[in-house]
Amino acid sequence: LRRRMIEGPDFVWMHFPKSGGTALQAFLRARFSELPDVICDPIDPQNQIWHDSLTKRAERDETFNPSPKRIMCGIRRLPYWVLSHVHFAAGRKDERDPKVTRDMLVKGITSVEPCGPVTADMMLRSFQPHRVDRWVKNESMAGDLQTAFEGLRYAGKVKADAIPRVNETIIYRPIK
């Protein structure tokens, strides 16, 4: 079973958490879902494979070979990523209290998971040792996406003036 976030004949798009990935994947799915040579992962909260690194994807599917393809991934400026991740963790419905403090934020810790403290550096390390050829910045998503797809088979399908936001970070409780 081949399972990847979004993979086309000449690209792999990876979802970096809290970097506009939900908006980007909705935009790309709307344009690619009917194409026979583009594979979109199922969105399943019980099996969150859409955050996989290339290494994890290769472990799930031994036929997966990203080498000849352009690797793309969303990214966000660090202060906005930190706020988005903190508020995402604080808003979970599973009753986990992340207990993020100002001291933790100063150290770059955005939540505490069973694996330990989560930082942006930790999240980025999960993408190693593979390359990312094109980063699509949250702040300039539509333009960066067009640049990322230049020269690829479906470049014409990603033209847009803007990509609608999906999960806007809303500050709803103070961080102690």
Backbone angles phi and psi of 78, in degrees to 5: -55, -50
Output the pLDDT for position 50: 65
pTM recorded for the entire structure: 0.78
31-78 residue pLDDT tens: 888 889 988 877 676 766 667 778 888 888 888 888 889 999 888 888
Measuring CA to CA, which residue among 45, 31, 34, 42 is closest to residue 3? 42
Question: Does residue 158 contact residue 73 with C-beta atoms inside 8 Å?
Answer: no
90-130 residue pLDDT tens: 776 665 555 677 888 788 888 777 777 888 888 777 777 67
pLDDT at residue 131 greater than cutoff 50: yes
